[in-house]
Amino acid sequence: MKETSDLNSVRASYDAVAVDYARLLGAELANKPLDRAMLAAFAECVRGDEGGAARAVADLGCGPGRVTAHLDGLGVRTFGVDLSPAMVAVARRTYPGLRFEVGSMAALDVADGVLGGVLAWYSTVHTPPGELPSLFAEFARVLAPGGHLLIAFKAGDERIRLEHAYGHPVDLDVYRTPPELIAGLLAGAGLEEVARLVRQPADDEKSPQGFLMARKHANLPEQHT
């Protein structure tokens, strides 16, 4: 995602909702065992990679840090990156022992091939499908060969306009994306599918939820931007 008016709208919207977002969703994982299972499998795969236990995992679009902290509790060294300074401020206050940075997941301040894992937990849902290939290429760039990616997304095939959320006015497009499209675009970036899950919506959700884990080819040459 380039520094566009759309990106500015995403940043401003999440700055506005940060405190209430954290309050409303802080305990969400407790009621979603399948989501926790995917995170647990991801953490185990990262720890099991050769050298993976020593490498960090980046939670991209980390928001208030709840999933960053969950992963850290599963034994992987995790740090968070988010576009919204207000979200990062909440994360730092809530989890002072963890590292959080303001930044764009489309242009990470991370060297090539150093991460053991990348988590994109619903952080691509505001990205138009046409921009996903460059985003996934950036994810592949920072992953070490053999490193794992876990992406959570809203499954479907439509764009939803969101003008109010978490008690605040917002200016957001939300994209529901077919799992097959996600898998194909990840493969194009050199990230081979390992597993996927599509579950039915929970009471607070309006569409099926998708989860896809992929692995960077061990013999893939490092990508440079």
Mean pLDDT of 142-161: 96
Beta carbons of 96 and 88 less than 8 angstroms apart: no
Q: 1-30 pLDDT, tens per residue?
A: 344 568 899 999 999 999 999 999 889 999
| Percent of all residues in the chain with a pLDDT value above 90, rounded to a whole number | 84
Rounded to 5°, angle at Cα 133 from 127 and 139: 90
108 CB-near residues (< 8 Å, 6+ apart): 58, 60, 81, 138, 141, 142
Average pLDDT, the chain: 92
Residues 211, 203: Cα–Cα separation, whole Å = 18
pLDDT at residue 222 tops 70: no
Phi, psi of 173 (to 5 degrees): -100, 135
Measured CA angle at 42 (ends 38, 44), to 5 deg: 115
Main-chain phi, psi angles of 123, to 5 degrees: -85, -10
Q: What is the pLDDT of residue 105?
A: 96
User: Could you give the angle at which helices 85-94 and 5-25 cross, rounded to 10 degrees?
Assistant: 30
pLDDT > 50? residue 211: yes
State residue 219's pLDDT score.
65
Higher pLDDT, 205 or 212: 212
Give me the sheet containing 57-60, strands edge to edge.
Answer: 99-102, 78-82, 57-60, 115-121, 143-154, 209-216, 191-199
Strands 143-154 and 57-60 come out as unpaired
| Amino acid 2: pLDDT | 42
Residues 46-100 pLDDT 10s: 998 776 667 999 999 999 999 999 999 999 999 999 999 999 999 999 999 999 9
Over pLDDT 70: what percentage of the chain? 93
The confidence band for 220, taking pLDDT boundaries of 50, 70 and 90, is very low
Q: Residue 218: what pLDDT?
A: 80
Q: Is the pLDDT of residue 221 over 60?
A: no
Scan for tokens 């995602």, then name that residue: 1
Q: What pTM value is reported for the model?
A: 0.92
Sequence-ordered list of residues with C-beta below 8 angstroms from that of 42, at least 6 positions apart, any chain: 71, 117, 119, 148, 150, 213
Give me the pLDDT at residue 52, please. 65
Residue 36 corresponds to which tokens in the numbers above?
């926790």
